[in-house]
Chain A
Amino acid sequence: MKALLLIAIAVAVFAAVPLVVHSNVVLNFLVVTLMIALAGQGWNILGGYGGQYSFGHAAFFGTGAYVTAILQVEYGVNAWIGFAAGIVAGAAVGAIIGGLAFRAGLRSSYFALVTLAFAEVLRILASVAPITGAGVGLLVKLDLRAQSFQFQSRAIFYYVILALVAVSLVIAQLLERSRFGTWLIAVRENEDAAMALGVDAFAVKLGAMVLSAAVTAAAGCFYVQYFLFIDSGIAYGTWISIEALLTPIIGGVGTVFGALVGALVVKSLGEGAKLVTGDVPGLDLMIYGAVLIVVIRFAPRGLVGAFTDARERLARRFAAPRPPVREAVRG
């Protein structure tokens, strides 16, 4: 299980960070980065492994966030239970959107459009509905106790999100080795051929959508606990739909570590730009847009993909000589 070992090493490295670094600024940066990595891993399950590109993952992030917040603020529900409920709610929204979209046979651009539309509808509804605080948003009461899923020390938040990301990495790894994952990848590569081989494409895509939504919803729930505030623009805004898709695309779609690598790169670029030119609105997303274009142009399989390609090329250069012509023609 070489891959699980790799995950363990990566997690261990990340876990060591708060022991060496005490700057709150850096810890905050890493917490946000890991949260985006989690949201991105959710997208990756549907988009990377499943090949269905959603432009509206905010629908799940926001649902997770709002459910967690509303349960605590309006109904006094325990934060941890709220967290679990948020994930379930996000998964349910995924089931509805996926069920409708895949039953209608929507693929590619049409699928992207419909997911975009659903996210926008949710955003508008949240911006006017009283239960979500309408234009003002929701504030979760400060209560720095573990029972309330709030912690005095930023480091503990860091470990919580790291644990969540670790789980998402393991999920991706298990997906790759499972029958469901193999079927999902087959559907991505060629849906008709997969169906001819007995794969129930609808069920597989729907399952991936639900899992994907759950993981991204978890990121939304975490957002609320960390920042204690949510409004329609944050919960269902295009920023998270974009960041959730950007990180795995840049890091490497359909890979275990792609979302994490992508999040690190993207967030670092954003922070770096801010350091150089100051915190002007629009700068970070501008860079993200440019990076997306550049990556698709020059490394469509993302950084991890490019790394794997380079490694394969090197391996072939040092491999055994080419087989005799007769064998190659037999084909």
Chain B
Amino acid sequence: MVESLLSVEHVSRRFGGLLAVNAASLSAPTARITALIGPNGAGKTTLFAVISGFLKPSAGRVRYGGEDVTGEPPHRLARRGIARTFQIVQPFAGLSVRDNILVGAHLRHRARAAALAVAEEVGREVGLGDMLDRPAHTLTVAGRKRLELARALATEPKLLLLDEVLAGLNPSEIRDVVPVIRAFCARGIAVIMIEHVMQAVMSLAEHVFVLAEGRIIAEGTPAQVVADSAVVEAYLGHGAAAKVRSANVH
């Protein structure tokens, strides 16, 4: 069994009266792709915010590489090797693509020349090689997603949290990005992806966790999870599992 790089243990997060995440536990092994899926409003992004340090959990622990990192601020976690992308892309709009990635590269490289070299290399890797000089705000949605990836990658992470990185992309763009993500694993990076695009989840993820109303309701291989009736109900509503089964019978 592969060792877990990240271990989220019974994490809960409360906002006033709302329990957005309820004793959720998951783990992500090194150099593997793990998916976190669930209907809208399930609490996936909140969970990511807790893992990446933007929110403190109301209860539970987050362990990374064996160490308890619960409640550490985002920049400290980034230095440990946890990088994330945002669901709503947040480029440094006024800066060029190169300068955007440069910010990430500077985490590991103090000297500007070295950091620039890394930034250019990473930019080329994600397919933005011929756009490095363009202002970030001129990129299309797909381009901005690649930029998010590039920036995160430039920090040389060991764990990459991708928050709906495929949202808003058309099928051919998705086909272009999937191998880029798969290549991360080849470099030893663990990936957790929040995703709604099921084709990508099925083809990329080795292990899937399903979050609904703040709780983990299922986990397993993509095939197992998709067949799980609790998961079907979470997406399609109460009684849907039975309907699907009876539809299949006919």
Judged by a CB distance under 8 angstroms, whether A192 is at the interface is yes
Q: In the docked arrangement, what's the CA distance between A198 and B140, Å? A: 26
Is B3 engaged at the interface, CB distance under 8 Å to the other chain?
Answer: no
Known contacts A186-B92, A192-B90, A194-B92; 18 additional CB pairs below 8 A are A179-B106, A179-B115, A182-B99, A182-B103, A182-B106, A183-B106, A189-B94, A190-B90, A193-B92, A193-B151, A196-B54, A197-B83, A197-B104, A198-B104, A200-B73, A329-B140, A330-B142, A331-B146
Q: Contact residue range for chain A?
A: 20 to 34
Which of A182, A193, A195 is the most central at the interface, judged by chain B CB atoms within 10 Å of its CB? A193
A124 on the B face (CB < 8 A):
no
A201 at the interface (CB under 8 A from B): yes
Residue in contact with B78 in the complex, picked from A177, A182, A186, A198, CB distance below 8 Å: A198
- Residues from chain A with Cβ under 8 Å of B110 in the complex: 179
B155 touches A197 (CB 8 A): yes
The complex places the Cα of A178 from the Cα of B95 at a distance, in Å, of 15
Of the residues B79, B99, B106, B130, contact of A327 by C-beta under 8 Å: B130
Cβ of A195 and Cβ of B74 under 8 Å apart? yes
B93 at the interface (CB under 8 A from A): yes
With A179-B112, A192-B90, A198-B78 already in contact, the answer to whether A330 and B127 are too (CB < 8 A) is yes
- In the complex, are the beta carbons of A198 and B75 less than 8 A apart? yes
**B84 touching A177, Cβ below 8 Å:** no
- B152–A197 contact, CB under 8 A? yes
Q: Chain B: residues with CB nearer than 8 A to chain A? A: 52, 54, 73-76, 78-79, 83-84, 86, 90-95, 99, 102-104, 106-107, 110-112, 115, 127, 130, 139-143, 146, 151-152, 154-155, 173, 176
Per-residue CB proximity of A160-201 to B under 8 Å, as 1/0? 000000000000000001110011011001101111111111
20 contacts between A and B (CB under 8 A): A177-B112, A179-B115, A182-B102, A182-B103, A189-B93, A190-B93, A192-B54, A192-B86, A193-B90, A193-B92, A196-B54, A197-B103, A197-B107, A197-B154, A198-B107, A199-B107, A327-B130, A329-B140, A330-B127, A330-B176
A-B pairs, 4 with minimum CB distance: A198-B78, A331-B140, A189-B92, A198-B107
The distance from the CB of B154 to the nearest CB of chain A, in whole angstroms, is: 8
- The reply to whether A196 and B103 form a contact with Cβ atoms under 8 Å apart is no
Q: Which of A182, A189, A195 contacts B73 (CB 8 A)?
A: A195
**Given contacts A179-B106, A201-B75, is CB(A196)–CB(B139) below 8 Å?**
no
Given A183-B103, A189-B94, A189-B95: A196 in contact with B83 (beta carbons within 8 A): yes
Q: In the bound complex, what is the Cα–Cα distance between A201 and B104 (angstroms)? A: 14
A198 touches B79 (CB 8 A): yes
Shortest CB distance B214–A (Å): 23
Least distance between B132 CB and chain A CB atoms (Å): 14
Q: Do A185 and B75 contact each other (CB < 8 Å), given the known contacts A179-B115, A196-B84?
A: no
Verify B75–A195 contact, CB threshold 8 A.
yes
In the bound complex, residues from chain A placing their C-beta under 8 Å from that of B104 are 197-198
Asked if B92 contacts A196 (CB within 8 A), the reply is no
Q: Report the separation of the CA atoms of residues A26 and B104 in the bound assembly, to the nearest whole angstrom.
A: 48
B75 touching A190 by the CB < 8 A rule? Answer: no
Q: Closest Cβ of chain A: how far from B119's Cβ, in Å?
A: 11
Most buried by A among B104, B110, B130: B104
- Identify which of B99, B106, B152 gathers the most chain A CB atoms within 10 Å of its CB: B106
| Distance in Å: Cβ of B179 to nearest Cβ of chain A | 15
User: What residues on B are CB-neighbors of A185 within 8 Å?
Assistant: 92, 95
Max chain A C-beta neighbours (<10 A), residue from B84, B95, B141, B142 = B95
Cα-based distance from A199 to B73 in the complex (angstroms) = 10
B52 x A196 contact (CB < 8 A): yes
Please measure, in the bound complex, the distance between the C-alpha atom of A177 and the C-alpha atom of B111, giving whole angstroms: 9
Is there contact, CB below 8 Å, between A197 and B78? yes
Note all chain A residues with C-beta closer than 8 A to B92: 185-186, 189-190, 193-194
Q: Closest A-chain residue to B101, C-beta based?
A: A197
Decide yes or no: A196 and B86 within 8 Å by CB, A182-B106, A331-B139 being known contacts. Answer: yes
Chain B residues positioned under 8 Å from A330 (CB to CB): 127, 142, 176
Inside 8 A of B155's CB, which chain A residues have their CB?
197-198
Q: How far is the CB of A312 from chain B (nearest CB, A)?
A: 9
Closest to A190 in B: B90
Cβ distance B62 to chain A, nearest Cβ, rounded Å: 16
Q: Could you say which residues of chain A place their CB within 8 Å of the CB of B52?
A: 196
Shortest Cβ distance from residue B65 to the other chain A in the assembled complex, whole angstroms? 16
A109 CA to B2 CA, complexed, in Å:
50
User: Which of B92, B93, B99, B102 counts the most chain A CB atoms within 10 A?
Assistant: B92
Q: Which residues of A contact B151 (CB under 8 A)?
A: 193, 197
Instruction: Kindly list chain B residues whose C-beta atoms are within 8 Å of the C-beta of A197.
Output: 75, 78, 83, 103-104, 107, 151-152, 154-155
Closest chain B CB from A326 CB (angstroms): 11
